[in-house]
Structure 1
């Protein structure tokens, strides 16, 4: 069971895809188009960011929604990779490598989303939620500290 979002298979793949795109947008054939660079950077950064945020939400429905957004962002990144190749910023080999990475990232996110929404994933989320609630509860017999007055 993942303790942190970085333990999920989907996150390092999304992070690698982001790093790849950041390297691509520094290339002269791409760097002169600020709007393309902004769109590419935003799309690539969105997937790992949404996987991390969804993991932190604990709830399967919320997490699945963030994963859906991450998958869409990975597909958008694929589009930007193809556009960078069309501009001559990538060799055929680099394009193929990037597209394989994109397929792996999307597959991992889809698989994680499927698990999160499965009965096993939902039960696991309940156990985590219950453990978190016990951690946050004050010890038996103690009163919570009052809120400070403004």
Structure 2
């Protein structure tokens, strides 16, 4: 796995951004747009996926990054559950559901892989780069 210079380099963040964009698109259409609670909740959860990847990366430490990745992964699970609610209320059709669910699953697996990689890496993060062990 390559070293990331920016959070935008992380493929999981890139895919999460696409997911968020697609959720905004489908939730703009009626009747979904009229269910303010579900619309806002699914938008927040998919936004949280990308935001927590970015925040964790910017903290500069592997342990903190892993912590934020686990929050991000939890938000993916939340979005998956909300997709079922949208499907059950006929806010999205089966095709939309399958496309969005597949993308959430892909993002979840990417985040999981990144967590495993970081857990096995000796790299502690940039904030520890110049510190001396005492």
Same fold (TM over 0.5): yes
Contact residue 16 and residue 50 of structure 2 kept, 8 A: yes
Could you tell me how far apart the structure 2 residues matched to 1:95 and 1:34 are?
19
Of residues 100, 103, 106, the one that matches 1:101 is 103
The gaps in structure 2 that reach 5 residues or longer are none
Of residues 74, 83, 90, the one that matches 1:88 is 90
SS at match of 1:124: coil
State the partner residue of 1:20: 22
State the partner residue of 2:70: 68
Question: Which residues in structure 2 correspond to 1:1-150 (within 5 Å)?
Answer: 1-118=3-120, 120=121, 123-126=122-125, 128-129=126-127, 133=130
Instruction: Give, in angstroms, the shift of residue 125 of structure 1.
Output: 3.4
Which string of whole-angstrom CA distances, capped at 9 and with x for unpartnered residues, describes residues 9-39 of structure 1?
1101111111111112111021111111111
State the partner residue of 1:139: none
The gaps in structure 1 that reach 5 residues or longer are 135-150
Could you tell me how far apart the structure 2 residues matched to 1:130 and 1:83 are?
44
Instruction: Give, in angstroms, the shift of residue 130 of structure 1.
Output: 5.4
Could you tell me how far apart the structure 1 residues matched to 2:128 and 2:79 are?
37
Deviation >4 Å, runs of 4+: none
Could you tell me how far apart the structure 2 residues matched to 1:130 and 1:44 are?
31
Could you tell me how far apart the structure 2 residues matched to 1:47 and 1:54 are?
11
TM-score of the superposed pair, with normalisation by structure 2: 0.88
In structure 2, relative to structure 1, the CA distance for the partners of 1:130 and 1:71 (3 Å cut) is: closer
CA RMSD of aligned residues (A): 1.6
Instruction: Give, in angstroms, the shift of residue 103 of structure 1.
Output: 0.7
Alignment: residue pair count: 129
State the partner residue of 1:147: none
